[in-house]
Amino acid sequence: MRPSRRLYGLMAEFERPDDLRKAVRAVREQGYRRLDAYTPLPIDGLAEEMGMHFSWLPLIVLTAGILGAIGGFLMQYYASVISYPLDIGGRPLDSWPAFIPVTFELTILCASLSAVFGMLALCGLPRPHHPLFNEPRFVLASQNRLFLCIESRDRRFDREETRKLLESCGPSGVYDIEDK
């Protein structure tokens, strides 16, 4: 083994969501925190099991939506009242009801863009390569198998002990993940 290869973590493979849930609970009870589960579908309650109760995303989207609304309205106000006032039969320049449709659309546009880019940023995507992709079995994580990986940077990580713990959870296999 070349010295540049270091261990990224240990990964256990499961077939049933229930087994994965139990494994996550067992591992977290042992004090492990640097772990993540990889599944082909969102598993109910798994994120909560892993201590993810909160997402910044709704707040990001709300902020972007409010900014879109204010910005959209001010743009129209500036254009129609300050920069290019058109006197049409003496009607008021600040005809705010007519500005609502565009304000609304820009609210939705900004909120939606922030939802997508916010999600990607929070997920750390795009990230074309990741040590997990070194494991040939990992292609099944997007098809029909569920994986749990404990990363080696966890304070409690110990190659032998952690492996034993994962094996005690009844996986169909435990693999070393190397960081090439």
Partner 1 sequence: MADDQSIITPGYTYGSVTQKISSIVLARRTPWGWMVGFGISFLLLTLLMVAVTYLLVIGVGIWGINVPVGWGFAIINFVWWVGIGHAGTLISAILLLLRQRWRTSINRFAEAMTLFAVACAGMFPLLHLGRPKFFYWLIPYPNTMHLWPQFRSPLVWDVFAVGTYMTVSFLFWYVGLIPDLGTLRDRSKSRAAQIVYGIFAMGWRGSAKHWHHHEVAYLLLAGLATALVVSVHTVVSFDFAVGIIPGWHSTIFPPYFVAGAIYSGFAMVMTLAIPMRAAYGLQDFITMKHLTNMAKVMLATGMIVAYGYMTEIFMAWYSGSRFEQDMVVNRMTGPYASLYWGLILTNILLPQALWFRRVRSSVLLLFIVAMSVNIGMWLERFVIVVTSLHRDFLPSAWGMYYPTMWDWATFIGSIGLFLTLLFLFIRFLPVISIFEMRQILPEPQRKESA
Nearer to partner 1, 1 or 151 (CB): 151
Task: Restricting to residues 24-43, name those near partner 1 by CB under 8 A.
Answer: 36-43
Instruction: Name the segment binding partner 1 (CB under 8 A); options: 1-9, 12-20, 26-34, 159-167.
Output: 12-20
Nearer to partner 1, 3 or 92 (CB): 92
Instruction: Report CA 83 to chain centroid distance, whole Å.
Output: 42
Nearer to partner 1, 3 or 58 (CB): 58
- Site size toward partner 1 (CB under 8 A) is 62
Q: Does the footprint of partner 1 cover residue 123 (CB under 8 A)?
A: yes
Task: Restricting to residues 62-101, name those near partner 1 by CB under 8 A.
Answer: 75-76, 79-80, 83-84, 86, 95, 98-99, 101
